């Protein structure tokens, strides 16, 4: 005699396929991840206002989960609220940008050093592909694509270090600095010989932790020097 769940499955009824129930909380998480990714990949710009209704329509969600996602990002200081309660992408001043840069250099440098010890050849090859994509994007003046691939390079490398708590701190910093990286190439593409990413990859192949750490610091501090000029020029008089 068939059990009730089997009969339900044969009749096409729900209950036997292992689907997760979609809750209001999961919709809020979905909105959060979409907005968070947009911040980290410079799809949202400093000073940009995130109006609730247009954003909800763009995400294909109702206003409630989107509002919850925005407030969650405000609590993480990835967004701010203006005097009307509208979420706004913050503008970094020089002091905050310098602090973020130094913290990123320290933490991502440590992660790169650890990756040189533990990364496997498949991971290193994938990182090489990402950097090749950046070079291709820059050659075609597809700067937004290059910025997004740059974020992927850094976070994949960080994940390769097998330090999950450190990874969480790094992603928090990327939430802060991601929007401003849209101005990474305002002064043109910096000429490197070789690019710090290439030096990092070579260090990974050699298992040279200190070389990987030094190349990461060079990439963040020297490679982002134009961003300091941007925040100085964008600062209110």
Distance CA 146, CA 63 (A): 32
Together in a domain, 61 and 149: no
5 in a structural domain? no
Report the pLDDT value the prediction gives residue 186, as an integer from 0 to 100: 84
Report the pLDDT value the prediction gives residue 216, as an integer from 0 to 100: 98
Together in a domain, 75 and 159: no
Report the pLDDT value the prediction gives residue 24, as an integer from 0 to 100: 61
CA distance readout (Å), 217 to 3, 111, 222, 230:
63, 11, 8, 20
Report the pLDDT value the prediction gives residue 234, as an integer from 0 to 100: 82
Together in a domain, 84 and 98: no
Together in a domain, 163 and 214: yes
Distance CA 202, CA 193 (A): 13
State the CATH number of the domain containing residue 172: 1.20.120.530
Q: Classify 80 as helix, strand or coil.
A: strand
Together in a domain, 105 and 207: yes
Q: Of 5-9, 34-38, 101-105, where does mean pLDDT reach its minimum?
A: 5-9
Residue 162 CB coordination number (10 Å): 14
Residue closest to 130 by CA, chosen among 151, 116, 159: 151
DSSP state of 55: H
**Average model confidence (pLDDT) across the chain:** 90
159 in a structural domain? yes
Which residue, 71, 88, 105, sits at the end of a domain?
A: 88
Q: Classify 87 as helix, strand or coil.
A: strand
Q: Quick check: 1 pLDDT over 60?
A: no
pLDDT in tens, 161-187: 999 999 999 999 999 999 999 898 888
Q: Stretch 98-126: mean pLDDT, rounded?
A: 97
Together in a domain, 113 and 53: no
Q: Stretch 57-79: mean pLDDT, rounded?
A: 95
pLDDT tier for residue 25 given thresholds of 50, 70 and 90: low
Share of the chain above pLDDT 90, in %: 79
Residue closest to 20 by CA, chosen among 11, 31, 29: 29
E strand or H helix that includes residue 54: helix 52-59
Q: What is the tally of structural domains in the chain?
A: 2
Residue closest to 79 by CA, chosen among 39, 30, 126: 39
Q: Stretch 80-92: mean pLDDT, rounded?
A: 95
123 in a structural domain? yes
Domain with 202, as residue range(s), is: 94-230
pLDDT in tens, 184-231: 888 888 889 999 999 999 999 999 999 999 999 999 999 988 898 888
Q: Quick check: 7 pLDDT over 50?
A: no
Report the pLDDT value the prediction gives residue 23, as an integer from 0 to 100: 64
Report the pLDDT value the prediction gives residue 235, as an integer from 0 to 100: 79
Q: Quick check: 12 pLDDT over 50?
A: no
State the CATH number of the domain containing residue 83: 1.10.10.10
Report the pLDDT value the prediction gives residue 18, as an integer from 0 to 100: 54
Report the pLDDT value the prediction gives residue 14, as an integer from 0 to 100: 42
Q: Stretch 4-31: mean pLDDT, rounded?
A: 57
More confident residue, 226 or 69: 69
């Amino acid at each position: 005699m068939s059990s009730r769940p089997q009969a339900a499955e044969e009749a096409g009824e729900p209950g036997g396929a292992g689907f997760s129930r979609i809750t209001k909380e999961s919709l809020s998480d979905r909105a959060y991840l979409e907005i968070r990714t947009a911040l980290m990949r410079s799809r949202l710009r400093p000073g940009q206002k995130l109006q609730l209704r247009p954003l909800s329509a763009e995400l294909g969600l109702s206003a409630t989960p989107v509002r919850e996602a925005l407030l969650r990002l405000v609590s993480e200081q990835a967004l701010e609220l203006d005097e009307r309660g509208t979420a706004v992408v913050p503008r970094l001043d020089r002091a905050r940008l310098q602090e973020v840069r130094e913290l990123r250099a320290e933490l991502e440098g440590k992660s790169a050093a650890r990756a040189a010890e533990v990364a496997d050849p498949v991971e290193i090859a994938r990182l090489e592909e990402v950097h090749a994509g950046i070079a291709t994007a820059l050659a075609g003046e597809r700067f937004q694509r290059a910025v997004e691939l740059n974020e992927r390079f850094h976070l994949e490398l960080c994940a390769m270090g097998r330090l999950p708590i450190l990874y969480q701190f790094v992603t928090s910093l990327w939430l802060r600095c991601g929007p401003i990286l849209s101005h990474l190439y305002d002064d043109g593409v910096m000429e490197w010989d070789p690019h710090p990413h290439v030096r990092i990859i070579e260090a990974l192949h050699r298992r040279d932790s200190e070389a990987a750490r030094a190349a990461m610091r060079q990439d963040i501090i020297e490679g982002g020097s134009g961003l300091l000029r941007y925040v100085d020029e964008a600062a209110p008089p």
